[in-house]
Amino acid sequence: MPHHEPATRVAQALLDHDGPIAVVAHVDPDGDALGSVLTLTRALRRLGRDARAVMPEPPRFLRFLAEEDELAAPVTELAPGTLLAVLDTELRRAIGAPHEAAALVVNVDHHGTNPGGADVLWVDAAYASATMMVAEVVDALGVPWDAHLAKPCLAGLMTDTGHFRFGNTDRRALERAGRLIDAGVAYGELSDRLQWRHPAYYGLLARVMSTVRYRLDGRAVLIDLTLEMRADAAADGDDADDFVQQVRYAEGTVVAAILKERPEGVKVSVRSRAGASAQRICVALGGGGHVAAAGATLTGLDLAAAEERLLAAIAAELAEVAAG
Ligand SMILES: [Mn+2]
């Protein structure tokens, strides 16, 4: 396949580097974060490079993607001469290793809100997943694909497109998926496995769904995940994005959001359609993300105060859209 110029530039920076390489992604790792980190780390290790995947523990439904001991715990210091590869996020939100201590920082991301700052930067919001960008880097590195390499890569593409249902699913995403399947990934098995949830998850889902409410004349749908619900459910390690996924298709709504109570405040995950931008809503709240899916953390607020802030931001966005 033809290499996009930026992928070649990233691959060259990795090939030119002699020393250790640490590969990291964002806080609260998702399928794309884990998939990107595993794919690039495995490809670099195939080339004999001293590469390590550094990541906090991913949600339990994704853990099958990593080998035993394949993920190293986050570190506060880096060995001298370490190249840090930051994937699927901007430097500020990266977790695993301090980018200030790296000899060189490479950043590959598909979030349009990425402000840059890396030595070698490739940001392109037109990609459905960061793993698609990493796949182009792997091609540029010249590492041949096999199932072990392709599986986490396809998993990231599947999770970031909602198994090819979201509006970011395009021909390029489907073609990349086809090539990854050609590399030996059993699609049906992977799809099935990615959707396994802890038995306690379904009870938690019922409690979260009992909070569903419509605001702003039915244009917004909100749900809560409280600390108490979390404490009661053994399913805590599962993916809370699943919940907002359940309500985002409520007819007549333009914005769906979950308010997740955390010890430090409230994390909101927002989804949008019909010209409304979850990204603008979340940027207004100090967060970031994609146009159709974004998030923000409202530090120091309780659920009621966070809801008020969120609804004000949604109302402002809806007014903006209405004004055309
Ligand atoms: Mn992503």
Same domain as 215, residue 153: no
Same domain as 97, residue 40: yes
Predicted local distance difference test score (pLDDT) of residue 1 = 47
pLDDT in tens, the chain (324 residues): 454 599 999 999 999 999 999 999 998 899 999 999 999 999 999 999 999 999 999 998 999 999 999 999 999 999 999 999 999 999 999 999 999 999 999 999 999 999 999 999 999 999 999 999 999 999 999 999 999 999 999 999 999 999 999 999 999 999 999 999 999 999 999 999 999 998 888 999 999 999 999 999 999 999 999 999 988 776 666 666 789 999 999 999 999 999 999 999 999 999 999 999 999 999 999 999 999 999 999 999 999 999 999 999 999 999 999 998
Same domain as 236, residue 259: yes
Same domain as 64, residue 154: yes
Same domain as 94, residue 152: yes
Q: 129 CA distance to ligand 1 centroid (A)?
A: 5
Final residue in a domain of this structure, among 167, 194, 221? 194
Q: 159 CA distance to ligand 1 centroid (A)?
A: 8
* Cβ atoms 73, 56 nearer than 8 A: yes
Same domain as 38, residue 183: yes
Which structural domain, as residue segments, surrounds residue 173?
5-194
Final residue in a domain of this structure, among 178, 194, 210? 194
Write down the pTM of the prediction.
0.91
Predicted local distance difference test score (pLDDT) of residue 71 = 98
Q: 307 CA distance to ligand 1 centroid (A)?
A: 26
Same domain as 226, residue 189: no
Q: 200 CA distance to ligand 1 centroid (A)?
A: 27
Single out the residue of 57, 75, 74, 76 nearest to residue 66, CA to CA.
57
Tokens encoding 25:
């992604």
C-alpha–C-alpha distance, residues 164 and 157, integer Å: 8
Predicted local distance difference test score (pLDDT) of residue 233 = 73
Same domain as 167, residue 124: yes
Final residue in a domain of this structure, among 194, 209, 233? 194
Q: 111 CA distance to ligand 1 centroid (A)?
A: 7
C-alpha–C-alpha distance, residues 91 and 72, integer Å: 19
CATH number of the domain enclosing 295: 3.10.310.30
Predicted local distance difference test score (pLDDT) of residue 4 = 58
CATH number of the domain enclosing 91: 3.90.1640.10
Angle between helices 5-16 and 130-141 (to 10 degrees): 60
Other beta carbons less than 10 A from residue 175's beta carbon: 12
Burial class (CB in 10 A: 0-12, 13-18, 19+), 214: middle
3-state secondary structure 216-235: CCCCEEEEEECHHHHHHCHH
Same domain as 188, residue 142: yes
Other beta carbons less than 10 A from residue 196's beta carbon: 11
Same domain as 187, residue 82: yes
Q: 156 CA distance to ligand 1 centroid (A)?
A: 7
Q: 269 CA distance to ligand 1 centroid (A)?
A: 14
Domain count, the chain: 2
Q: 252 Cβ partners below 8 Å, 6+ apart?
A: 218, 219
Same domain as 102, residue 53: yes
